[in-house]
Homo-oligomer: A and B are copies of this chain.
Amino acid sequence: MKGPGLDVGVLGVLPVRADHLDSAAAVDKWLRSAGSVERIRQVGAMSRDKLARFASLLDASTGPELLGSVDPDLATRIVRAAEVTQSARWLEALETDEAAEVLRRLTNSAREKLLAQVNESQALVLRGALRWPATSVAAHMLPDVFTIPDSITAAEAEALLRTQSAQVRSRARAGALIYVTDDDLRLTGFLEFQDLVLAQPDQPVAELSSEDPVWVRPTVDAEQAAQSLVDYELAALPVVDEHRRLLGVLTADAAADILETEATRDAERQGGSEPLEVPYLRASPFRLWRKRIVWLLVLFVAEAYTGTVLRAFEDEMEAVVALAFFIPLLIGTGGNTGTQITTTLVRAMGTGQVRLRDLPAILTKEMSTGFLVALTMAAAAIIRSWTLGVGPQITITVSLTVAAIVLWSALVSSVLPLILKKCKVDPAVVSAPMIATIVDGTGLIIYFWIAHATLPQLAGL
């Protein structure tokens, strides 16, 4: 099927490569065919020289378009590669939150040099955005929004909005809302452009406006605010000062970006690594090593405890060497059970479904499930011991141990994420490797303790 449209279903191979572009028009054409993932891949892979040449082709329209669609780390690299006078124009046209993200990543002197070239009114707005803490919702809000008084009609509102549109720079793609204020400029409601078009011209705005809007204070954590925007299914979340006057809005787009970044961080933490903070393909081996080695060493030290446990039970293993055969199987099963639980719990906590006060419900659920799993796995252990031909006594030891380890692992894994949350630590750090490590050492103690209780050969040890 041919046509001017782009068939996303068959998309994949792109006709143009960004590093072969040679004119501003070619860049414009490339931008229209490449989504943000492809832009990040191609521009992110450029050497410093290529990036500088590419940046020189960007103009007042393609520059902001590109910067707004790539990750902040890459946007900052593009700004660094470009002429200051050129990148100052881009920052003026960029959404305030995106421009501020770039400015935060520059050195003080580079930031000042750039802001000196930005027009005065926008520089003032950007300096204002930079004053908020980077993790606050205010650092991610768009400060300029459409605002109308609640005392006018739909037709008057349309005329007023046309005059405002020159000042309101933000063109939030997902359809900006129009905020309604009372005589004291306090936020009283909002409406959509759609409402205005579909209204009768003489209908009062107050009648079209929704009431009791949800809002947040500027210092609220950005991730929490983004989660609320999704939870309340809003197109934008207004940020207000102590007099309920509008400071700006968090758009659904900005919220999606915040949550996406946090989801990637959580996924990386869950794998037992520090968050990379840049797209994977742009992370150097040294950065990967640095982000991974911290946890690897911590876990190595913790896991080293298993060596101490095993040395303590050296006599038992020498007496019944078959006990050693089951070590990886037993501790592995404990780690697997625990990983299943923490992964599900951490995700449910990340999406707000599960909270601290659910601990009793979680424990009941997980211990009941653990009981069913323990029974099943004990049966599997009996079969496995039988096929290894280790005799009935060791079979009993192994199947009792697997049941005990499954229950112990279920207990640790359901409580630990909630305890960390209580201590204001991100529960996503309870990674699969961490659970495996905790269960390995403690599981071995359970194993030899049960072995002592069930094997007559170990009676004297």
| Interface, chain A (partner B; CB < 8 A) | 1, 3-9, 11, 32, 35-38, 40-41, 69, 158, 161-162, 165, 171, 173-177, 186-188, 192-194, 196-198, 211-217, 219-220, 224-225, 228, 230-235, 237, 240, 242, 244, 252-253, 256, 260, 263-264, 267-268, 270-273, 276, 279-281, 283-286, 288-289, 292-293, 295-297, 299-301, 303-304, 306-308, 310-311, 314, 317-318, 321-322, 324-329, 331-333, 335-337, 339-348, 351-354, 358, 361, 365-366, 368-369, 372-373, 376-377, 380, 384, 388, 431-433, 436-437, 440-441, 444
Contacts and interface: CB of A to CB of B under 8 A. Distances in A.
Contacts of A8: 214-216, 220, 224-225, 228, 232, 237
B288 A306 contact: no
A5 B214 contact: yes
A454 B352 CA distance: 53
A137 to B, nearest CB: 9
A38 B173 CA distance: 29
Nearest to A341: B271
Question: How many copies of this chain sit in the oligomeric assembly?
Answer: 2
Nearest to A331: B328
12 contacts: A5-B187, A5-B213, A8-B232, A35-B228, A36-B231, A268-B344, A271-B341, A288-B365, A296-B376, A301-B380, A304-B329, A318-B321
Nearest to A292: B340
A353 B280 contact: yes
B271 A343 contact: yes
A260 B226 CA distance: 14
A308 B198 CA distance: 74
A296 B198 contact: no
A402 B322 CA distance: 24
A220 to B, nearest CB: 4
Q: Name the 3 nearest CB pairs between A and B, nearest first.
A: A175-B175, A271-B343, A432-B432
A230 B173 CA distance: 12
Contacts of A354: 280-281
Contacts of A318: 318, 321
Nearest to A302: B332
Given A267-B267, A292-B373, A332-B306, A41 B317 contact: no
Nearest to A348: B280
B268 A347 contact: yes
Binding site secondary structure of chain A:
helix
Contact of A233 (B69, B162, B297, B340): B69
A303 B215 CA distance: 53
Contacts of A1: 217, 242, 244
A7 B353 contact: no
B6 A212 contact: yes
B303 A329 contact: yes
Contacts of A11: 228
B3 A244 contact: yes
A33 B349 CA distance: 21
| Residue of A40, A224, A234, A307 with most chain B CB atoms under a 10 A cut-off | A307
B369 A285 contact: yes
B6 A281 contact: no
A231 B332 contact: no
A260 B351 contact: yes
A190 to B, nearest CB: 11
A37 B353 contact: yes
Contacts of A234: 173
B5 A433 contact: no
Contact of A384 (B228, B307, B358): B307
Contacts of A237: 8
Given A173-B234, A328-B328, 19 more contacts: A1-B244, A5-B244, A9-B216, A38-B231, A175-B175, A256-B256, A267-B270, A268-B343, A271-B344, A281-B353, A288-B366, A289-B373, A292-B373, A293-B373, A296-B336, A296-B376, A299-B332, A303-B332, A306-B328
Nearest to A231: B35
A381 to B, nearest CB: 8
Contact of A328 (B252, B303, B380): B303
A5 B335 contact: no
Given A273-B343, A297-B376, A174 B252 contact: yes
Contact of A272 (B175, B311, B339, B380): B339
